Structure 1
Amino acid sequence: MPTPPPREVLLFTLEGQRYALPTGDVRELVRAVRLTPLPRAPAVVEGLLNLRGELLPVLDMRRRFRLPARPLSSSDHLVVAQAGSRRVALRVDRAEGLLELEPALFDDTPRALPGVGYVAGALKLTDGLVLVHDLRTFLSEAEALELEEALEREGAPR
C-alpha cells in the first residue's frame, strides 16, 4: 500500500537547491555544532551529535546527493528526524520553513524511477520541482546495519 502524500513538509536547501521532508518525520531543528567522529560508520554518516544526552548519527546529505563536500559551518542547520526506527540528524545548509500542501502539488511519480529509492515524490511549485525525501529508505540495509554496529561499539543505545 503506497504511503499517503504528506500534508505538510519542511523545506530545506543544499547548494541552493531546495528539498523537502514530510513534517511527520521531523522532530526539531537545531543549529550545527561540533560533531564527534564515528569510526567505522558508513560513509554517509558524518559523525555523532550529542543532543541533550542522546547520541544521534548525523547523515551527510551532501554525500548522498553527490554535492561537493563542505566543512561544517555555524550557519548550518541540523534537522532532527525519524528515519525508520532510529532518530537521526541531517545537516542542511538552511531550513527554510514549513509548507502546507494541497494534494495537487504532490506527485509520487519520481518514487518509481530507478536510482531514487529515498525519494517519496516531488512538489510541483510555481518556482520549480522540489524532491520530497523518504527517510525510511534513506539508508540502504547494509548502511543501516553498519551504522548499528558502529553505534554499538560506541555504546550508543538504539
Structure 2
Amino acid sequence: MVPAPREVLLFTLEGQRYGLPMEDVRELIRAVRLTPLPRAPDVVEGLLNLHGQLLPVLDLRRRFRHPARPLSALDHLIIAQAGPRQVALRVDRAEGLRVLAPGEWDETPRELPGVGYVAGAAKLEDGLVLVHDLRGFLSEAEALELDTALATSTERP
C-alpha cells in the first residue's frame, strides 16, 4: 500500500524554512496590529481579533531562538489548529503549499530528543525542512497560563 502524499505549508522565519501539516492550517492573512495580552506566557506575542474570535499569536522567533523584531506589514499570520486551540503564527513569509511524495517525507526527526513539536522532515531538493506539530507546541504550563490570561482579558469590570 502506497502512503498518501502529505501536504505541507512552507514558510520562512529569519531566512530559515519551516513547515506545517496542511491539515492544521485554516487560513493565511497579512499581519495586523496585535493587542498585548497581560499575564500570557512569553511565547504569546499578543491577541488577534479575527472575525470576532480572539486568537493568541504565538511568537515563533522566541520558540526557535531567533532575535525578536517588530511586527511588519509584510509579515504573514498563519491561522492554525494547535490541538484544541486555534492560534495565529507570525512568520516572515508563507511560501505556499507543497505536496510531498512518499520519498520526500521522513519521520525520524520526531524521535530525536529535544524536538517534541516536530512531526517530521521534508527532504526537498534544496534542503531539509522541519515540519512542526502544533499539538505539542505549548507546554501544559504555558497552555494553562494562556487560558488564565485569556479568561482575565475577556472579563468585564
Please, what TM-score do these two structures have when normalized by structure 1? 0.94
CA contact (8 A) 1:5 1:106 kept: no
1:132 corresponds to 2:131: yes
CA contact (8 A) 1:6 1:22 kept: no
> In the alignment, which residue of structure 1 is the partner of 2:60?
61
Q: Percent sequence identity over matched residues? A: 78
Shift of 1:101: 1.1
Shift of 1:6: 6.8
Shift of 1:142: 0.6
1:87-118: per-residue Cα shift (whole Å, max 9, x none)?
00000000000001111111111111111101
> In the alignment, which residue of structure 2 is the partner of 1:149?
148
CA 6–59 in structure 1, closer or farther in 2 if over 3 Å, else same: farther
Q: Which amino acid aligns with 1:103?
A: P
Unaligned runs of 5+ in 1: none
The aligned length equals: 153
* Structure showing greater Rg: 2
> In the alignment, which residue of structure 1 is the partner of 2:16?
17
> In the alignment, which residue of structure 1 is the partner of 2:120?
121
SS in 2 for 1:131: strand
Unaligned runs of 5+ in 2: none
Distance in 1 (CA, whole Å) between partners of 2:90 and 2:150 is: 19
> In the alignment, which residue of structure 1 is the partner of 2:83?
84
Shift of 1:155: 1.6
Stretches of 4+ aligned residues off by more than 3 angstroms = none
CA contact (8 A) 1:28 1:80 kept: yes
